[in-house]
Each structure stands twice: as structure tokens, then as C-alpha cells.
Chain A
Amino acid sequence: MKLRHLVKKELIEVVRQKELLFLMLVSPVIQIIVLGYVVSSDIRNVPVGIVNLSGGQAATRVIERVRRSPLFNVRFESARNEDSLDRLKKGEVKTVIVFRDALDRKRGASAYPEVQVLMDGIDANTAMIASGYFSGIIKGYILDDMEKKGRGLPVAARPLFRFNPQLRGINTMGPGIVAFLLTIITLFMTSTSLVREKEQQTLDTLLMSPLGALEIYVGKALPAILVGLVDMLIGLAVVVLWFGIPFRGGVPVLFLAALVYLTAILSYALLISVLSSTAQQAMFFSWFSLIIFLLMSGFFTPVDNIPYPLRLLADVNPMRYLVQIIREIFLKGNGIAYFWKELLAMGAIAVTLVSISLLNFKRFISK
């Protein structure tokens, strides 16, 4: 079988290039660990400045709670409100919390202080989350205080977080990183493989051989699928063993989803390879595509946040479905019954991309 020899040749080439081998086997581990820590949306150690103009007990207790919280890192506490805004401007702190006694015209000073929270809005995400955390501290204090006085709230919502009870950001990001890894390795490896043959003129020799277009096409894709699946296994091991992310689903279903995804992404990579004249062009196309895939995948922000016309683009992004499926498998332990629609969508994208890519490949070799 001629295809077997082509696949073997491709794999030998991968193994012989030590730098490439390192990038394929070691870099995924480094990438996952680094990304796992960096990409997490958990907010910790937000630098905070406190201006306490109140002097009341309530303010002191709330400040104590802020100090105990791992979410905030109190950089300064002052009884005067002179240069706090300047410190916010300089970036020494991201938040300044000002406590002052509230004046109630009817009853004199209120039991609770008036609180002003000044946030650095440049990092909107951190500001929003930190603001939410601080509101939570205040609410917690008021609730505790009311319960002590025997005046509990008539209705209280106590949310129960399923699938990720501690709301660990890495639990959401980790599976997404596996999807990202699967994309980056295979996209770059494949998009440059055919164009490299073009540059070296080895493609002419292949085209002259009895190998058919489909055999060359599949011969290029198969080794990348193998490498991709090996990388996915490495990624799985790291996110589960290093970050302790629960893997509740089945491995076979994950492999099935990965296989469908790889078919789509490799077809796209081969299309890039056919359309590019040089490896440099192919790399540029790949980077450009990777960023679009990533930003529209729900990896960082929910796909629902994407405005309508761009949403259509997200709908044809195979990575979007893989990120969703992989999270469901990891955290919810879901099977195909829960995500067959996404799998089907990914399959449809794969079939379309294979057709376009193969057609272009055939057109290219018949020039």
C-alpha cells in the first residue's frame, strides 16, 4: 500500500527534525502549564487602597474582611483622603475604597458607613470582577450583622454551583487549552508540510509517482492526526495531573470529537498549504486563522457575547464546537447524547472543508 510508505516517510521526517519533535512533544506541556496559570480568569491579589474616614465599628469590620480576603491585597490604609486618586492614577492600586459616615438627616449618623469604590477601569474585566467580589463582602457583612440582630432576610438565594463547585477558572480554561493545543500543533505542522514539498520540488516527484491526489492528501493529513492525538493525550495528562481538573467523561468520545475536529482543521491547513507559495506565507495565514479561531471559540469569552454578523463567523468556526464539547466531557461527563448537535455541526464543517480543500488540491496539481 503506497499510502503507508508516504505516512511512514512523513513520520520519519517529523522524528528526524529534533526542533520540531521538541515543539510537538515538550512544548505542549510547557504551553499548558504556562497558559493554565496565565489564562485563568480567577482574580487574586487585586491591589487595594483603603481610605477610612469613618472611624466607626462597621467600617473597621468590613476593612478586616477585605484584609482577610485572598482576592485583595491592601497596599495602604489611610485616615485621610489626600493622594488616593493619584495612587490609582499611578497604578499602585487598582481599587480605592473610601469609607465615610453616612448622614441621615432624620436619625443622625447611620449604623453603616457610606462606601465609595473607585476602580481602575482600564482592565475592565478585573474591575468588574473585583467590584463584584467587594459587593459580596459588603453584602456578607450586612447579612451577618442582621442575623446577629435577629432580622434575617425573608428570602435569600443560595446558589449551588454544579460541575465546578469552587468556580475554579482553570477548570473552564484547562479543557479549552487542550483544544487550543490540538489546533496550534496540527495547523502549523500541516499548513507548512505541502508548501515545503513545493519549495523543495519534492512535490513534483510525488506527483510523477503512481500516488493519486487523494493518497497524497491523506498521506499528509494522517501523520498530523496521529501527532495531534498524541499531543491531546499529553495535554489531557497535564491538565488532569498537574492542575487537578476533573475528567468525568469518556476518553473514546473525546477522541471521536478530536478526530472530527482534526479532519476539519487539517483540511483547512492543507487548503492554506495549497494556496501559499512559500512556507512563510503559510505560517502567516496560520497565525491569522489561529487568532480568529481562538477569539471566536468561546475560549476567553462566551460565544453569546459576539455580536450578530460576526456570530455567523463563529458558527462556522470548528474550534468553537470543540471547546464546548471538550468542556462538557471534562466537567459534566456528558456523552454524545448531550452534544450531538455540536458534533454534527463540526462534522458538517469538516466535510465542507475537506471538499473545498481537496478540490483546490486537485486543481493545483492539474495546473
Chain B
Amino acid sequence: MVRFQEISKAFGAIRAVDRVSLEIAPAAITILAGADGAGKSTLFKMLVGLVKKDSGAILLNGADVGDDYSRVTSVCGYMPEKFSLYSDLSVEENMDFFAAVQQVPEQRRRELKQRLLERTGMEPFRGRRAGALSGGMKQKLALSTILLSSPQLIILDEPTTGVDPLSRIEFFAIIEELKREGRTIVMSTPYLDEAEKGDHIVLMRKGRVLRQDSIAGLRRAFPARMFRILPRGNVFAAMQGIAADPELAGRAYLRGKFIRCLQEGRENPGARIPHLEMVEEQPTLEDMYIYYERQA
């Protein structure tokens, strides 16, 4: 549905987005994952015209958008990273306001509003001020307001950051439902476990795309094996030993009481790390991100 071609954007000396090319497939969930400063938000802002790109092209359904971002905004709903609704307005007033400025007809607005309030579980809170909602409910309200205009493309910038785990699950259930309706969803997240839920995952770092594919595709192409190691003795002392070992340095990281060690080739890291237990596991997206991030 949307294609970014060699898109770049710099803020002064900082290259926020550096020659990024990626495709957002229709009726699928595309997730941009990466740490802060990866360029995810800037990419979204360039897509909706809030930030002007320095170079490259954005194609919507095969046609170059050029400088006419209304072509994108007329078919998309954009939810910024920060809660961007009016705290002094009630849930219902916020929905009414955004539907009105989006010129949603009165009758349709009423029907959609009711449906969305029920679907998101916000119905009992329709009269509550937005500022008094919990983090999860705020995000659901923000999502509801953008859905009022029935957008084909839904852009969600870190919608689950700062949201409790239960609300995150509920939020994803809604996103899955939207996908089943045939909507195109593109979202960003700093949580790599969450990114695994995407049909297409784009791993980003410092304005560049590290890798992009489906989770299965990423796993297939991943060149290293993952070992979960329970070290003998003090785990921090074991990490110090790893840091001093030129064969292992930069390939292991701590996760709880375990060391997760990425190993290329056939060699087994267990021979170099005194351990009580070692299990080879399927690499997670987090493992892959750390591997590619360190390679970059």
C-alpha cells in the first residue's frame, strides 16, 4: 500500500532517517521496532507530512505522493507517540470533535462512536474526562478517535509505550481485529517481543533499517545460533570472563540469571564458559536485534 524509497531526513548534523526503503503491505500489520532514536517516529511524520523529507520518495498505491500529503492523510489515521487528545474534554467530546473535523456525517458518527465505545470497552467512561483515564484507556480512546474516519491505513506510533500489560493485550486484540477487517496497520514499538506479532517486521537503528522480513523469514536468515547458559558461580564474574574473551566478547548478554550467547558457526560456547546448564534455543527478535545492532 505504501512504499518508502530511499527516504532521508536530517535535523542539523543528526541523520534521523538515512536512506530507508521499506514497504507497508495492505491488510497486514507492519511493525517498526528499535530503540529510541531509530527514526521510527520521523518516518511516520514524513509519511503524514508533519515532517518534510530531505530526499527519497513515498509511494501510495504505486503513485508518488510528492508534496501532496493530503492524499495520505485522507486515507490514514495517525496516532502520535504521546497522548494527543484534549484532557479537559470527555471521552465522547474528544470523539465528537475529531469526527466533526474529519467531516464524518452526523448519523455515521453516532453509529461508529457507539460501536467503538463498546468495542474498546470505553462505554462506561464516555462522560469521563480524557485526562482522568488510565494509560491504556487513553490509548484506546486515541485509537477510537482515529478509527472514526474509517481510515484504510492506520499509523500507530508506539501505542503501547507506558501501557500496562493487560491493556497491551487488549490493544493488540483490537489491532488484530482491524487487520481482519482488511485495514493496513503500521506501528512502531521499542518492545521487541511485541514486534514479533507483526506480519512484517522492520528492525531499525539510528535511522537505518537493520533487517526486515516476517518473523519466520528473519529467523531463517539469522546467521547465528542462540544458547541460553546458566553459568557456574557468579553470573557477573562469568560476564567479565566473556568480555575478556575475544571469541565471545560482544556476543553475549545477560537476561536474569542466564547468559544469552549468540554463536556463529558450529562452535559451542559452552566449552569457553563454565556452566551448569546450556540449552540451544530458537533466537528471539530481541536476540536478532542485539546481534544485528552489534554488527552495525
Please give the residue numbers on chain A whose beta carbons come within 8 Å of chain B beta carbons, in ascending order.
Answer: 2, 5-6, 8-9, 12-13, 16-17, 200-202, 204-211, 366-367
- B111-131 residues with Cβ-Cβ distance < 8 A to A are 129
CB distance from B159 to the nearest CB of A (A): 13
Q: Mark B62-93, 1 if CB is under 8 A from A, else 0.
A: 00000000100110001011111111110001
**Minimum CB distance partner of A207 in chain B:** B50
CA of A210 to CA of B93, assembled, Å: 18
- The answer to whether A5 touches B73 (Cβ under 8 A) is no
- The answer to whether A204 touches B50 (Cβ under 8 A) is yes
CB distance from B188 to the nearest CB of A (A): 15
One of A5, A200, A210, A367 near B84 (C-beta < 8 A): A200
Apart from A17-B88, A206-B101, A367-B51, list 7 A-B contacts with CB within 8 A.
Answer: A5-B97, A8-B97, A12-B88, A13-B89, A204-B50, A204-B84, A208-B73
- The answer to whether A2 touches B103 (Cβ under 8 A) is yes
One of A5, A13, A208 near B78 (C-beta < 8 A): A208
Q: Which residues of A contact B101 (CB under 8 A)?
A: 2, 5-6, 206, 209-211
Q: Which residues of B contact A6 (CB under 8 A)?
A: 101
- The answer to whether A204 touches B88 (Cβ under 8 A) is no
Chain B's interface size range is 20 to 34
- The answer to whether A200 touches B100 (Cβ under 8 A) is no
One of B45, B48, B82, B100 near A5 (C-beta < 8 A): B100
Q: Which residues of A contact B73 (CB under 8 A)?
A: 208-210
Q: Which 8 A-B pairs have the closest CB atoms?
A: A5-B100, A16-B88, A201-B84, A209-B101, A201-B82, A13-B88, A201-B80, A9-B97
User: Can you name 30 A-B residue pairings with CB atoms under 8 Å?
Assistant: A2-B101, A2-B103, A5-B96, A5-B97, A6-B101, A9-B97, A12-B93, A13-B88, A13-B89, A16-B88, A200-B82, A200-B83, A200-B86, A200-B87, A201-B80, A201-B81, A201-B82, A201-B83, A201-B84, A204-B45, A204-B84, A205-B78, A206-B101, A208-B48, A208-B50, A208-B73, A209-B102, A210-B101, A211-B101, A367-B51
Q: Which residues of B contact A9 (CB under 8 A)?
A: 86, 89, 93, 97
Q: Which residues of A contact B87 (CB under 8 A)?
A: 200
CA of A8 to CA of B86, assembled, Å: 13
**Minimum CB distance partner of B51 in chain A:** A367
Q: Which residues of B contact A209 (CB under 8 A)?
A: 73, 98, 101-102
**Minimum CB distance partner of A203 in chain B:** B84
**Minimum CB distance partner of A9 in chain B:** B97
B52 at the interface (CB under 8 A from A): yes
